[in-house]
Structure 1
Amino acid sequence: MCEMGVIPVLTVKPSRALFDEKFHVVVGNLPPTQEVTLHSLHQSEDTDYWEAFGHYVSDAQGRITVFKDPSVGGTYEGVEPMGLLWSMRPIPGSRPELRLRKKEVHTPMVVHISVYRGHMSQGFREQVALASVVTERWYMAPGVRRVDITEGGVTGTLFLPPGPGPFPGVLDMWGGSGGLVEYRAALLASQGFAAMALIYVFRDQKKNYTIGYPYFETAFRLLQDHPLVAADRIALLGLSLGVTVVLSITAYSEAVKPRCCVCISGSHACRIGATQSIEETSQGIDKKYTKARTDEENRIIWRDVLLPIPEDIDLKVEMGRITCPLLLVVGQDDQNWAAVESADDMKQMMERAGNSHLLTTLSYPGAGHLIEPPYGPHCRACTFVLQPGQQRVVMLWGGLTKPHAVAQEDSWEKII
């Protein structure tokens, strides 16, 4: 309680929203110039706790409106309507080097938002909140359908928006850590795209020797032939190693003709040959592992593996063969891939080939490698399993929290 027994009122609207939607947080019934802390808390599916907090001072009416009032301290500062989400970090005492990722997209990310008296930075569990609310953040909008894909040897998940269609399609490919990552595709479907999350790096190394152009062409054709998909409006979306796939098949496959491509934090300096497998391509990159270095905390900086960008056209994707619009998303502090140098070289190649009018580059100062949908917490470094051998290391992805959040929000608006 505050003065005279008046109970503060905390509201979060909407309390149930898509992950990429902004919410409005307001605290009322406070004394004027009251110092308080707004705190968010989420327990991940791995049972780790994540938190963020901002320090505020109520106005003359005893009110705090987060979308216009500045935080004067905490995990974020300034006027930041979504700071309670994008500045989340593991609570003190958590396991090291965590990354927050949603696995079960049919359930919400539940976030508890509370207001505490005074400017606090720790010990939230030991204090009684003045007020608390629960908010849900969803990747799947009501009516979005999730369909397992196992046809033609392809493994993935198709997310379909509600309604009769036809919908523009997206073939969505993540990076070299492999497995099925669904949350971006689910969010794209919530925005009106028929999006297929595709596995192309499997835990079974022998399986990866079978993954090449025919696999990606079959996945593209499955999406193209779906009765609810507009066959001539299919985009390719890749992050990290997924960019290698996107650029390779767009440039060299006769069967894959996308309407446009979005490439996040990737490079053209390692291409998949027409008869190559994804395993052979990955091994080609891994052979340059000696170029990788570590920082003072023994975190691996991988970006030098691709440097210098080769001059030999046979060692990279021929960008002059790209015939559709191409969007590059680049974090200037990417410590995992040489995305900045690659983007510069791609631009030069396309200028020489006469197709640079198809290229748009979004380059973000202070952003790292893992540029994801907006308002997700920035991951500067986390554990990573190197293939082959299953060696667990800590990979440095790069980026600073605030600039990275800016990159995620701005790029997502331009992608969709």
Structure 2
Amino acid sequence: MAASVRLQPGPECLFDEPLQVRVSGLSPLQQVTMKAWLSDEKGQLFHSLAFYRADGQGELDLDHSPSLGGHYTGTQPMGLFWSLSPRTPFTRLVKRDVATSLAVHIEVFDGHRSLDQLPVQPLAASINQRWFMKAGVSRIPVREGRVRGTLFIPPGNGPFPGVISMNEIQGGLSEYRASLLANHGFTTLALAYLCYDDLPEDVINFDLGYFEEAVNFLRQHPKVKGPGIGAVGLSKGADLVLSMATFLPDVRAAVVINGCTTSAIYGLCFKDKLISTGLGYTISRMQIADSGVADIFEIINEVNEDSIIPIENAEGTILFIVGEDDKNWNSKFFAGETIKRLKEHGKDNFEILSYPGAGHYLEPPFFPFCYASYHSVIGAPTRWGGNAKAHSFAQEDLWSKVQAFLKRILNQ
């Protein structure tokens, strides 16, 4: 019997959905190399491989069979996905067009071989199309007043809990988290705040009034269940979410992923008043490894009172998510200081999820681990921290907990 690869729930699924990979038709105890690869929207290749041994019946089930070597070891059902590594160093997998899928090719080869030893023809192969929008989700570009972004509306009558999603400072518009949240029943606004459409390419101080407009736009949408909304932010997006929760009472649920106690790098103003001077950095403290990767962990300046966000004024509930090995900045310290400040003011409106071994870029499940990539502010490849296995566990674990948190708070 010829070898074959079977995928469950099937050859197509959502990007954040686990996939069961089984191989049959092998010889009993046959050693094989499993390889996965994809090509991103810019044609950059990502690949992973792992060494396996079939059971006595010539079958292999990645849910139960351990990898004996390669890019990961042990029983890791989605290891081929989260260990995908770029062929071009310092390339991060980013999905821009969420209306299209990412095609992950899964191949089986005889023997335990490195990438450059693999033959052209595999024993068996299959393709998994991983989608970011399920059938019925609406994608609507937003250009309302100053607000720029994309609105994702789940199928059905609604209304649904409303959420704003923002990513790091790299600029442009990031839609993948928002589209995936819409699949799970949230009317989600992917909000741009820099280097997109007619938004500025650089600022000295961010205007919180812009984010207030976005909150009001989302709250007033007929597909949004009020009265409050949620906000999810990563990196710079996280401290903006923290500021929104502090000054905008309609933000009832805030998810702060590897954020800062202050308005990082840039100041923050609201209603013609400077509310945070911004936490600057000293570039001379940056270190460059022999590989050319920048270590920026020590460049952030010491926090001062003028830069701190007065989070004790927040009326909603805040979920802090921390990668304890974040090398962009000390997220564990910042979350601890913020919680300390809340407690000092008699507040208990917070929760925390902290993950040892996780780095900075905590994405939705099964995004490949990114150890280092280009940093637009620094202008060089930068180390993000973490190790692949622990980081990927964190991504999978926090995703369902974020959704449960948002639904619990916003459905009250």
Question: Does the alignment reach a TM-score above 0.5?
Answer: yes
Say whether residues 1:64 and 2:56 are aligned partners: no
- Residue aligning to 1:337: 329
Secondary structure, in 3 states, of the residue corresponding to 1:192?
A: coil
- Residue aligning to 2:298: 304
- Residue aligning to 1:230: 225
Say whether residues 1:192 and 2:179 are aligned partners: no
Q: In 1, Cα distance between the equivalents of 2:382 and 2:281?
A: 17
Query: How do 1:221-300 residues align onto structure 2 when only pairs under 5 Å count?
Result: 221-253=216-248, 256-270=249-263, 272-275=268-271, 284-286=278-280, 288-300=282-294
Match of 1:151 among 144, 147, 157: 144
8 Å contact from structure 1 (residues 211, 277) kept in 2 = no
- Residue aligning to 1:412: 399
- Residue aligning to 1:360: 351
Q: CA deviation at 1:69?
A: 0.9
Query: How do 1:313-324 residues align onto structure 2 when only pairs under 5 Å count?
Result: 314-324=306-316
Q: CA deviation at 1:123?
A: 2.7
Q: In 2, Cα distance between the equivalents of 1:284 and 1:328?
A: 20
Q: CA deviation at 1:378?
A: 0.7
Match of 2:169 among 164, 176, 184: 176
Q: CA deviation at 1:301?
A: 2.6
Q: In 1, Cα distance between the equivalents of 2:221 and 2:152?
A: 12
Residue deviations 1:126-162 (CA, integer Å, cap 9, x gap) = 4311111111111111111100000112110000100
Letter in 1 for 2:156: G
Q: CA deviation at 1:276?
A: 6.9
Say whether residues 1:325 and 2:311 are aligned partners: no
Match of 1:50 among 29, 41, 46: 46
Which stretches in structure 1 are left out of the alignment for 5+ residues?
1-5
Letter in 2 for 1:47: G
Say whether residues 1:9 and 2:4 are aligned partners: yes
- Residue aligning to 1:34: 30
8 Å contact from structure 1 (residues 309, 342) kept in 2 = no
8 Å contact from structure 1 (residues 39, 114) kept in 2 = yes
Q: CA deviation at 1:251?
A: 1.1
- Residue aligning to 2:407: none
Q: In 1, Cα distance between the equivalents of 2:202 and 2:89?
A: 32
Secondary structure, in 3 states, of the residue corresponding to 2:391?
A: helix
Q: In 2, Cα distance between the equivalents of 1:249 and 1:364?
A: 25
Q: In 2, Cα distance between the equivalents of 1:326 and 1:239?
A: 14
8 Å contact from structure 1 (residues 114, 129) kept in 2 = yes
Bigger mean CA deviation after superposition, 25-34 or 265-274: 265-274
- Residue aligning to 2:409: none
Bigger mean CA deviation after superposition, 186-195 or 320-329: 320-329
Match of 1:216 among 204, 208, 211: 211
Higher strand residue share: 2
- Structure 1 vs Structure 2 CA RMSD: 2.2
8 Å contact from structure 2 (residues 286, 296) kept in 1 = yes
Q: In 2, Cα distance between the equivalents of 1:267 and 1:292?
A: 19
Say whether residues 1:398 and 2:390 are aligned partners: no
Identity within the alignment, %: 35
8 Å contact from structure 1 (residues 209, 277) kept in 2 = no
8 Å contact from structure 1 (residues 306, 338) kept in 2 = no
Secondary structure, in 3 states, of the residue corresponding to 2:374?
A: strand
Q: In 2, Cα distance between the equivalents of 1:147 and 1:378?
A: 30
Which stretches in structure 2 are left out of the alignment for 5+ residues?
404-412
- Residue aligning to 1:378: 369
- Residue aligning to 1:369: 360
Higher helix residue share: 1
Change (3 A) 1:125 1:54: closer
Q: CA deviation at 1:192?
A: 0.8
Secondary structure, in 3 states, of the residue corresponding to 2:363?
A: coil
- Residue aligning to 1:3: none
